[in-house]
């Protein structure tokens, strides 16, 4: 007899889940693991990790090597592919793949405004979140590798922040690695967050200029929207306080392969005529709130600058402070003249914790993280200089999110690393490029090209 209670309630938090199911061309298995919150205290509190095992239907019963995918972010769960999409199709020709929801994301003991109060107040929440950086993620990988592979080393694919994790992996546990492939994610080994954003703002400005060169009609549209927001208090349907600065932050999409086109289509439907006069259209507001809200990935906003913390200097809202060095990004000043409004990019600002309902309860927690001065170094230059693991990295020549100059400096510091520098792709090349990017990177690790 079918157990309808199990059908209606397939998962209870804390219960094991090993469901296996199929999609076109693949067999998937849900995997759950228990790991220490603090790996230096293995007998202490534990958290749960979730990962999705994927294997090609034609190889489901074969003994295959493993590839673990480390998603970009921080703060995003692993891609939810349908079938053999994007790079996964190439990986499944030879690997069994583990799509890991890094701690705090997806189904891995989430860290959100709803769950973090279980820790206590802001101080306890901030202490808890210090365990959600690349070092803890890599130790999670090592903690579960024996159960997944039987102890065999595996290949790591690191996209963006996943590449930061992969470089830490090379620094701390290279014995667990067969090879490493990195897509748009070679971090500076020693840059402070201020250095990262001083390199970022000029790149962002170039991306905005390229967008306006493609869509010159958007210059007037963007100015008109920003002018409306400076003159009106606008609250989106989900409670988000929509300011000119928030509008500028939509420029984060310009780092992706389709981002300029998506921004253009968003801007063209901004206004509608109403009995009360011109207003921002419901359709525009609905799409904007989906773009701006951190409800689905609050950890990204909370720990984003912390991924650059490696010394006794606080990050101290680095993106906000450094932005002050680039007055051309000030919306009011831009509108007072005749220049274009500049969008911003992958930057986190304190006002987001006032504007976004998903972040407001976490404002004090974010302040404590920004003031923290006890960050541990994430990379070991001496160990990287002696590296013996095959490594290849795609460096996108004008990547909006990860500075190419910093990446190439790091590439020269990792023994044996081979780079593929290209302007064919934006930051999302490993996804947008289908099978080609992963195929080339794997070939580079094997000296096949």
Cis check for the bond before 404: say yes or no (omega within 30 of 0).
no
Using alpha carbons only, give the angle 175, 179, 181 rounded to the nearest 5 degrees.
130
* Rounded Cα distance, 93 and 110, in Å: 32
What are the two backbone dihedrals, phi and then psi, of residue 117, each rounded to the nearest 5 degrees? -60, -15
Catalytic residue (one of 160, 171, 249, 293): 160
Sign of CA dihedral 127, 132, 133, 135: positive
Q: Has 160 been annotated as catalytic?
A: yes
303: part of which helix (H) or strand (E)?
Answer: helix 298-303
The conformation of residue 112, written as its DSSP 8-state character, comes to S
Strand partners, 395: 421
Strand order in the sheet with 154-159: 20-23, 26-36, 46-56, 96-101, 66-70, 154-159, 177-183, 391-396, 418-422
Question: CA angle 237-238-243, nearest 5°?
Answer: 75
* Residue 374 a catalytic site member: yes
Q: How far is CA 320 from CA 198, 305, 368, in A?
A: 11, 11, 16
Catalytic residue, candidates 5, 40, 41, 374: 374
Q: Which residues contact 277 (CB under 8 A, 6 or more apart)?
A: none
311 is catalytic: no
**Selection from 347, 402, 424 nearest residue 184 by Cα:** 402
Among 135, 318, 427, 439, the active-site one is 427
Task: Check residue 78 and report its DSSP letter.
Answer: P
Show which residues are catalytic: 160, 374, 427
């Amino acid at each position: 007899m079918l157990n309808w209670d199990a059908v209606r309630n397939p998962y209870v938090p804390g219960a094991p889940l090993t469901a296996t199911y199929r999609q076109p061309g693949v067999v998937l298995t849900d995997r759950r693991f228990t790991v220490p919150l603090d790996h230096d205290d293995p007998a202490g509190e534990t958290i749960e990790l979730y990962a999705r095992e994927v294997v090609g239907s034609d190889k489901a019963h074969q003994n295959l090597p493993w590839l673990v995918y480390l998603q970009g972010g921080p703060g995003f769960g692993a891609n939810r592919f349908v079938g053999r999409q994007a790079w996964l199709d190439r990986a499944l020709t030879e690997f069994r793949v583990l799509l890991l929801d890094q701690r705090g994301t997806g189904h891995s003991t989430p860290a959100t405004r709803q769950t973090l109060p279980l820790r206590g107040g802001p101080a306890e929440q901030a202490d808890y979140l210090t365990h959600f950086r690349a070092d803890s993620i890599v130790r999670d990988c090592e903690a579960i590798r024996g159960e997944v592979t039987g102890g065999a080393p595996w290949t790591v694919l690191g996209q963006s922040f996943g590449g930061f994790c992969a470089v830490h992996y090379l620094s701390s546990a290279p014995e667990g690695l067969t090879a490493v492939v990195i897509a748009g994610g070679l971090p500076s080994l020693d840059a402070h967050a201020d250095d990262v954003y001083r390199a970022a703002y000029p790149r962002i400005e170039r991306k905005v200029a390229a967008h306006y060169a493609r869509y010159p009609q958007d210059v007037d549209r963007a100015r008109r929207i920003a002018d409306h927001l400076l003159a009106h208090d606008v609250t989106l349907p989900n409670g988000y306080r929509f300011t000119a600065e928030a509008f500028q932050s939509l420029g984060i999409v310009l780092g992706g392969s389709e981002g300029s086109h998506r921004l253009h289509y968003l801007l063209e439907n901004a206004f509608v005529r109403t009995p009360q006069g011109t207003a921002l259209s419901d359709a525009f507001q609905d799409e904007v709130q989906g773009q701006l809200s951190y409800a689905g990935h609050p950890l990204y906003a909370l720990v984003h600058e912390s991924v650059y913390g490696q010394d006794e200097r606080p990050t101290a809202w680095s993106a906000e402070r450094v932005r002050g060095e680039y007055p051309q990004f000030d919306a009011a000043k831009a509108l007072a003249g005749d220049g274009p409004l500049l969008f911003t990019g992958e930057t986190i600002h304190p006002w987001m914790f006032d504007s976004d309902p998903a972040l407001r309860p976490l404002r004090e927690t974010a302040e404590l993280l920004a003031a923290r001065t006890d960050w541990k170094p994430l990379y070991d230059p001496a160990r990287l200089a002696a590296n013996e693991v095959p490594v290849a990295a795609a460096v996108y020549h004008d990547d909006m999110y990860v500075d190419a100059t910093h990446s190439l400096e790091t590439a020269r510091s990792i023994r044996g690393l081979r780079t593929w520098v290209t302007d064919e792709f934006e930051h999302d090349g490993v996804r947008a490029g289908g099978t080609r990017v992963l195929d080339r990177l794997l070939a580079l690790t094997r000296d096949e090209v």
